[in-house]
Structure 1
Amino acid sequence: MHQVLFYIGDFPVRSFGVMLSLGILAGLLVSYYVAKGQGRFQEEVLDLAFYAILGGLIGARIWEVMFSWDYYGSHLWQIPAIWNGGISVQGSVLGGLLAVIWYCRKNKTDIWPMLDTLAPGVLVGQAIGRLGCFLNGCCYGIPHQHLGVVYPAGTDAYYAFGAQPLFPAVLFEAAWDVLVLFLLLFIYKRKPFDGFIALSYFLFYSVGRFVLEFWRGDSLRTFMNFKAAQVSSAATVIIALALMFYLSNRQRRTVQKNRQKLNIKD
């Protein structure tokens, strides 16, 4: 792991910041590619990128600070220092989602098709960003002798567990993101209704995150000994399934109404 890739004078170029930036850029390019392939939303993807990125960064930091207030409450000057790590994927998705919804409502853009267009890019950004977490030595796993990685001194992982081999949870999460990405791209043109791709993203990512949290060594625990990320993942799965059911029924009712209109005309 290399927390600092190189120096420009006395300024350290940190691996986390570099990978985060590459993830944002790659995610934007993938979403634009998807939009171009369907001949829709190319300009909108570029226009809303700033708002989605800003909302994602703010949401990611607020989520992390909120669940780590024991530290940040006594280190207030560290709250804006996202270049040192300490942002949450789930907070990023929520903040970015709210920004996209705001943009779509303001510009009278169909929300569900837009979210479908953006979902593959989000997965690419998450996968690359998780590589930054690994290089930074954060978001580490529990001690594991067979699939363990020894983090160097100076990382959060070393501070927590020393030189013990730790399960590389973020690498597995990155791999899961890539797997879900290919699945969504495969079914994209076969989606039964608008919103199916976006909701599938929330569903599959949350299932993977819930499972991988059992091997995370840095997560906060909540009620019944579950972790905060598992609780939010479970809630996301329930909401995604409920919305899938709602949108599917709405699509079916729309099809039935159109058929009835055609029969009346005939």
Structure 2
Amino acid sequence: MHQILFYIGDWPIRSFGVMLSLGILGGLLVAFLVARAQGRYAEEVLDLAFYAILGGLVGARLWEVVFSWEYYGNHLLEIPAIWNGGISVQGSVLGGLLAVIWYCRKRNIAIWPMMDTLAPGVLVGQAIGRLGCFLNGCCFGIPHVHLGVIYPAGTDAYYAFGSQPLFPAVLFEAAWDVLVLIVLLALLKRKPFPGFIALSYFILYSVGRFTLEFWRGDSLRTFMNLKAAQVSSVATILVSLALMYYLYNLFPKKDKNLIYSTGQNNSRR
């Protein structure tokens, strides 16, 4: 793993930034292809991208700052330094989600069908971004002999545990993202109601994140000795299940059949 890939003059090109950029581009491409395959929202996805990316980056950083306020409260000037790492996937999803909702309301676009279109791209972005976390030596796991990876000096992982083999939690999370992506793409044209794909993403990702947090070595513990990401994952699952029940009963049966057969519904819900 290499934190710095190469230099342009004296400017280091960091692997985390490169993978983050590739994740954004890859996610946008997949969302665009899904929109074009469905015959709707292709132009809107490109137009929305700037706001969703900005919201995701701001949310990712703010989430990290809030849950690490013990440090950032004494280092206020480091809060904007996103290039030094310290961003949260869950924060990026929340920030991006708020940007999507704002954009859809502004443009009078149906929110749930748009979120269904974007969900596969979000997973692609997360999977690639997690590879950047691995190369950067952050978001590391607990000591693990059989499935451990030894991180080099200079990484957060080495600073925390030295030369012990650590469980590569982010690689397993990237693999889980790919698996969830395959499931959602298979269900995309057979969704029973608008919002099903997006809510399935929230549920399945949160299940994987909750589980893998048991092997993470860098997470804060909060309620009932659970980690912050686990608490937010449980909350996400419960809210998503409640919304699934609500949306299933909101749409009449004939609308469900139409969506199942065409994969489209342009009514605003």
Partner of 2:183: 183
What SS is found at the alignment partner of 2:251?
Answer: helix
Q: For the residues of structure 2 that align with 1:252 and 1:229, how far apart are their CA atoms? A: 36
In structure 1, the gaps of 5 or more residues are 257-266
Q: Point out the structure with max Rg over C-alpha.
A: 1
Letter in 1 for 2:232: S
Q: Deviations over 1:241-260 (max 9, x none)?
A: 0000000011236759xxxx
Partner of 1:25: 25
1:49-198 matched pairs, under 5 angstroms: 49-198=49-198
Residues 31, 45 of structure 1: 8 Å contact kept: yes
Per the TM alignment, residue 201 of structure 1 is displaced from its structure 2 partner at its CA by 0.2
Per the TM alignment, residue 85 of structure 1 is displaced from its structure 2 partner at its CA by 1.1
Partner of 1:12: 12
Residues 176, 208 of structure 1: 8 Å contact kept: yes
Q: For the residues of structure 2 that align with 1:225 and 1:246, how far apart are their CA atoms? A: 32
Per the TM alignment, residue 58 of structure 1 is displaced from its structure 2 partner at its CA by 0.2
Letter in 1 for 2:41: F
Letter in 2 for 1:108: N
Partner of 2:267: none
TM-score by length of 2: 0.94
Residues 16, 84 of structure 1: 8 Å contact kept: no
Partner of 1:260: none
Q: For the residues of structure 1 that align with 2:76 and 2:217, how far apart are their CA atoms? A: 25
Q: For the residues of structure 2 that align with 1:45 and 1:205, how far apart are their CA atoms? A: 22
Deviates more, 1:29-38 or 1:79-88: 79-88
In structure 2, the gaps of 5 or more residues are 257-269
Q: For the residues of structure 1 that align with 2:193 and 2:85, how far apart are their CA atoms? A: 38
Q: Percent identity?
A: 80
Q: Deviations over 1:201-243 (max 9, x none)?
A: 0000000000000000000000211000000000000001000
State how many pairs are aligned. 257
For the aligned residue pairs, the C-alpha RMSD in angstroms reads 1.3
TM-score by length of 1: 0.95
Q: Deviations over 1:57-103 (max 9, x none)?
A: 00000000111112212222221111121100000000000000000
Q: For the residues of structure 1 that align with 2:101 and 2:68, how far apart are their CA atoms? A: 27
Partner of 2:35: 35
Letter in 2 for 1:248: Y
Residues 140, 170 of structure 1: 8 Å contact kept: yes
Per the TM alignment, residue 104 of structure 1 is displaced from its structure 2 partner at its CA by 0.2
Letter in 2 for 1:34: V
Q: Deviations over 1:76-133 (max 9, x none)?
A: 2221111121100000000000000000000100000000000000000000000000
